[in-house]
Amino acid sequence: MVTHFDFTEILDELHEMAIDTFNAALIETE
């Protein structure tokens, strides 16, 4: 029985979202 969140999965999604936001910001400043 798992009593904790799957943090790796959550961090993975947050990381992807952060990269997407970062890339979008970079493209806009160019």
Q: Where are the domains of the chain?
A: 1-30
Q: Tell me, what's the pLDDT at 22?
A: 94
Q: Residue 5: pLDDT band by 50, 70, 90 thresholds? A: confident
| pLDDT at 2 exceeding the cut of 90 | no
- Indicate the pTM of the whole model: 0.57
Q: Over range 9-30, report the average pLDDT.
A: 92
Q: Tell me, what's the pLDDT at 6?
A: 83
| pLDDT at 1 exceeding the cut of 60 | no
Given CA atoms 7, 8, 9, 15 in this order, what sign does their dihedral have?
positive
Gap between the Cα atoms of 30 and 17, Å rounded:
20
